[in-house]
Amino acid sequence: DTGVSQDPRHKITKRGQNVTFRCDPISEHNRLYWYRQTLGQGPEFLTYFQNEAQLEKSRLLSDRFSAERPKGSFSTLEIQRTEQGDSAMYLCASSLGSGGAYGYTFGSGTRLTVV
């Protein structure tokens, strides 16, 4: 297993378009997290899955954002009608059980630029 994979690494899109990102966690990890990181800031929590169930969503996740994790494996994050304020690095992380005890593994991120 090569860790957490995210695709694409970079995405440039025009304002108003829809975009979708994919995250493949470490295969045995049951917890999956999405974070957003803007320039010069620390990552901010967006949403959390335990297996296929989405159990928590941040208020940052407006109704233009949707995330899925079918069958508890890979996850997708879709942004509809993108805005310039959506430009950021989107990070995915996974953990086996309690991340506090076992740690969280991050992917390299998808950098979104909305023009």
Partner 1 sequence: GDSVTQMEGPVTLSEEAFLTINCTYTATGYPSLFWYVQYPGEGLQLLLKATKADDKGSNKGFEATYRKETTSFHLEKGSVQVSDSAVYFCALSDAQGAQKLVFGQGTRLTINP
Q: Which residues form the interface with partner 1 (CB under 8 A)?
A: 4, 6, 31, 33, 35, 40-45, 48, 55-56, 91, 93, 95, 98-101, 103-109
Least distance CB 33 / partner 1 (angstroms) = 6
Smallest gap from residue 111 Cβ to partner 1 (A): 8
Min dist. Cβ of residue 81 to partner 1 (A): 26
Angstrom distance (rounded) from CA 21 to CA 92: 10
Phi first, then psi: what are they for 109, rounded to 5°?
90, 160
The conformation of residue 84, written as its DSSP 8-state character, comes to G
